[in-house]
Chains A and B, each alone.
Chain A
């Protein structure tokens, strides 16, 4: 056959093959990008300033095959000094062991409570700010005076989750994890000069527990550990779908180099969703060990207890009144007790432009027992993509 006659057939074959390959690749993509971002104006009394801020938080998703899935979330923002900050929120690999069991390794969101692992993205959180018991993570710009009980969202290690479906509308979730855990914060300059906490306690025999200072702990995830002890934890929850989920969480780790001092957190959470309302709440209790000198000037381990809780109620007025379509009203109360006591009320109004873009306005009033109170107002435009 003449080669010239074969040429159009070859070209046509190549075009059709290329198209088929492209279609196949398009139908079975390996990569997707999702995420969220926000722009915020925040005015704070305690910081005596007001400022705009912005964050962009892409989530990179890869499906290697039906069993293996990779995900990574990075938060890109600009700090108060004008430097661009890039933070790896999580980066992990899931292996779907069975229909109901998933193994995860990497930097993972700790399944403790509901706010950290599930509700902290700004287009999901119904308030501009994070709940008081979580400190400033995921919400406040700069300093905020309410000291969180478990100010950590992710750590490096491994985890496993298992689901037990109980009929169509009920499930039990199990999450277990082992991570590097927390460490003692490096001593400050004044502590190195001999003005550490122990010496402060020595000179004050009638110490009011409200004035006690907790050991400073570093919760940030690191690819390293100051001891061989690993943080262990888990969450068990029961979901009566689609309305109610209640859970109990646990976290424990030794934080000092000699593995003598421990930190333990226990939590209970509820997420209650109705046709026109959402109620979210969490209670966290922590036990933090520290050395204290006894009458023989020997160190003994003392445990400091703290606890706190928050309850956030959202009334989705738009689902009840047509004229208020897309409008939510939010009220939240939080308190921390025993050490670094504080209470906070927050009131908000949200307007949903569509199902993934919201303008939120929140006013927050914080009373701190031994410190400066704060009043804060913020407007945030948040979007999921």
Chain B
């Protein structure tokens, strides 16, 4: 058995050097949360800790959950994004109206990290197209306004989105 351990050690050191610079690609913090947190526990609510606290907690979770440094950074960026204040609603004039871009917001807030849309995306939360189909757009809007309104144990973070932006995301999902 000791020889197995020695082989493991050698193999791991070889792999360590071979893979230390793996292909860099944009990592979604929401997707990292979806893929890793639930391996052991329910995801903690974002607002449970302040961003300065998350900055100390995430290195702890990096070691515990075997996250890479890039993944840890991506999670922190996502947490910072969700901690922003809700933007003021824009007054939309009919003649030059530029409504919020639902698709762009959907991507920006990493919705697909935890939820699937048309079969593509995370499984941590329910499929979004199914949610709107089954529960209606009103439920969807209310859920984004107050993620715990129907389920106090939901780890869904409250995104810094105003009502216009929430509707834009709902319209994008419906389309």
List which B12-65 residues lie within 8 A (CB) of chain A.
12, 15-16, 19-20, 22, 25, 31, 34-36, 38-45, 48-53, 55-57, 59-60, 62-64
Q: In the bound complex, do residue B12 and residue A34 qualify as a contact, i.e. CB atoms below 8 Å apart?
A: no
Complex Cα distance, B58 from A71, in Å, reads: 12
Q: In the bound complex, do residue B123 and residue A164 qualify as a contact, i.e. CB atoms below 8 Å apart?
A: no
Q: In the bound complex, do residue B4 and residue A118 qualify as a contact, i.e. CB atoms below 8 Å apart?
A: no
List which A12-49 residues lie within 8 A (CB) of chain B.
26-32, 34
Q: Does A207 contact B (CB under 8 A)?
A: no
Interface size class of A (residues with CB under 8 A): 35 or more
Q: In the bound complex, do residue A250 and residue B122 qualify as a contact, i.e. CB atoms below 8 Å apart?
A: no
Given A32-B49, A165-B22, residue A100 in contact with residue B68 (CB < 8 A):
yes
Q: Which of chain A's residues has its CB closest to B51's CB?
A: A27
Q: In the bound complex, do residue A241 and residue B35 qualify as a contact, i.e. CB atoms below 8 Å apart?
A: yes
Q: Which of chain A's residues has its CB closest to B53's CB?
A: A32
Q: In the bound complex, do residue B39 and residue A271 qualify as a contact, i.e. CB atoms below 8 Å apart?
A: yes
Q: Does A267 contact B (CB under 8 A)?
A: no
Interface size class of B (residues with CB under 8 A): 35 or more
Q: Does A366 contact B (CB under 8 A)?
A: no
Q: Note all chain A residues with C-beta closer than 8 A to B104.
A: none
Complex Cα distance, B42 from A241, in Å, reads: 15
Q: Which of chain A's residues has its CB closest to B40's CB?
A: A118
Given A61-B57, A94-B59, A96-B59, residue A164 in contact with residue B151 (CB < 8 A):
no
Given A242-B36, A266-B1, residue A28 in contact with residue B55 (CB < 8 A):
yes
Q: Does A63 contact B (CB under 8 A)?
A: yes
Complex Cα distance, B137 from A335, in Å, reads: 50
Q: Note all chain A residues with C-beta closer than 8 A to B49.
A: 32, 34
Q: In the bound complex, do residue B39 and residue A101 qualify as a contact, i.e. CB atoms below 8 Å apart?
A: no
Q: In the bound complex, do residue A27 and residue B52 qualify as a contact, i.e. CB atoms below 8 Å apart?
A: yes
List which A248-293 residues lie within 8 A (CB) of chain B.
250, 252, 264, 266, 271, 273, 275
Q: In the bound complex, do residue B152 and residue A241 qualify as a contact, i.e. CB atoms below 8 Å apart?
A: no
Q: Note all chain A residues with C-beta closer than 8 A to B38.
A: 242, 273
Q: Mark A159-180, 1 if CB is under 8 A from B, else 0.
A: 0011111001101111010000
Q: In the bound complex, do residue B19 and residue A32 qualify as a contact, i.e. CB atoms below 8 Å apart?
A: no
What is the minimal beta-carbon distance from B92 to any residue of chain A, in angstroms?
Answer: 35
Task: Give which listed residue, A27, A118, A163, A355, contacts B42 with CB less than 8 A.
Answer: A355
Q: Which of chain A's residues has its CB closest to B52's CB?
A: A29
Q: Does B119 contact A (CB under 8 A)?
A: no
Complex Cα distance, B19 from A266, in Å, reads: 27
Q: Does A147 contact B (CB under 8 A)?
A: no
Complex Cα distance, B15 from A236, in Å, reads: 13
Q: Does A356 contact B (CB under 8 A)?
A: yes
Complex Cα distance, B4 from A140, in Å, reads: 34
Task: Give which listed residue, A29, A233, A239, contacts B39 with CB less than 8 A.
Answer: A239
Q: In the bound complex, do residue A29 and residue B16 qualify as a contact, i.e. CB atoms below 8 Å apart?
A: no
Complex Cα distance, B72 from A163, in Å, reads: 13
Given A27-B52, A29-B56, A59-B60, residue A176 in contact with residue B31 (CB < 8 A):
no
Given A69-B59, A96-B62, A232-B5, residue A124 in contact with residue B41 (CB < 8 A):
yes
Residues of B within 8 A of A (CB): 1-2, 4-5, 8-9, 12, 15-16, 19-20, 22, 25, 31, 34-36, 38-45, 48-53, 55-57, 59-60, 62-64, 66-70, 122-124, 148, 150-155
Closest 9 CB pairs of A and B: A29-B52, A32-B56, A241-B35, A69-B59, A352-B153, A99-B69, A174-B12, A355-B42, A242-B35
Q: List 30 A-B contacts (CB under 8 A).
A: A28-B55, A29-B53, A30-B56, A61-B59, A69-B60, A71-B60, A94-B59, A96-B62, A96-B69, A100-B19, A102-B63, A118-B64, A119-B40, A124-B41, A161-B66, A173-B66, A176-B8, A176-B12, A232-B2, A234-B5, A241-B39, A242-B35, A242-B122, A250-B1, A252-B1, A352-B153, A355-B44, A355-B153, A355-B155, A356-B48
Residues of A within 8 A of B (CB): 26-32, 34, 59, 61-63, 69, 71, 94, 96, 98-102, 104, 117-119, 121, 123-124, 161-165, 168-169, 171-174, 176, 232-234, 236, 239, 241-243, 245, 250, 252, 264, 266, 271, 273, 275, 318, 325-326, 352-356, 384
